[in-house]
Structure 1
Amino acid sequence: MTLATLTPKQAADRAKVSRGTIMNALKDGSLTGFRDNRNHWQIHPDKLSEWMANRGVTATDKGITDDTPKLDENALRIAVLEVELKAEKQRSADLERDRDSWKEQAQQLARRPRRWWPF
C-alpha cells in the first residue's frame, strides 16, 4: 500500500460511514478503487472526496437536526451520581465480606490451643 491510498476502513472513518457502505459503493461502481497485489481494495483520497460530494449526505439526511432534545444537565448529573452510588454500595458489600472472612479466620485461630514449641 502506498501512502497516497486508503483502505476501505480508513475511507469509512474519513467519510464517517460504515465499511460496508464503502464496500457497497465500490461494488456498484459509484466509488472507484483498485485492488493491490494482495487483492486488498485501495481508494485514492481524491476519489473518496468526489464520492462524498456526489453522495450529498448532510447531517439532516442522517436524521440529525438542530431541534433534537438536549439532555438536561441535572438529569445527566443524577444519572452519573446514581452509577457512582451503585459502585460504592458494591465496594462496601465486598469490603464487608472480606471483613467477615478475616474475622472468621481470626476466631478459628483464637480457638486453637497454643503450643509453646513448634516441634
Structure 2
Amino acid sequence: MMFSPAKAATKAGVSRKTVMNSIKSLELPAHRNNQNHWVIRPTDLANWIRERDKRSPKVLRENARGIPPLAPTPQHELDALKAQLQLSFVKQRLEASEQDNEKLKQEVVELKAELKESRDQMNQVWREVTDKLVSLARPHKRRGPFVLTEDMRADGGKDNITNLFID
C-alpha cells in the first residue's frame, strides 16, 4: 500500500506542506504514479519519520484510535514475527508446565492419602501396645496368701536367717 502526501502527513503527525517540502528537498523518497500523483512507500515514510525524530526529537502524536503514526518497516515486521513466535513457544511451555503442575498436585493428594493411612495404622499399633502395657501393669489378683516355697528361698532352703542390709 502506498501513501499519498496527505495520508503520509497524517501518519507522521505533520502537515502536508512539511511532507511536500521533504519530497522536494529529496529527504523523503517519493515518485509519481500513472495519474501524476505523489506516492510514498511505507518503509520510506517510516525511515523519514525516524530520521526526522533523530534530528528534532518530539513526542509522537497518536491518531484518534491511539495508534502511533509509524508505518511498519520490514525490520519491524520481522521483529513482530519473532515476538509472535517467542510468545507461541512461551505459551506452549506454560501449557506444559500447567499440565505438569496438575500431575504434581494429583501426586500430592495421593501421598497425603497414603500418609493418613500410615498414620492411622501406626496409631492402631500404638493403641495395641499401650493396651498391652496397661494390662501388664495391673496387679493380678491372687487366690491366697503368697507362700515362699523352698526352691524360691534365697538361702537355698536353709533355716538360717540372713540380714541383707548388713555387710
Larger Rg: 2
Q: TM-score range by the shorter chain?
A: 0.3 to 0.5
RCO greater where, 1 or 2, for CA within 8 Å and sep 6 or more? 1
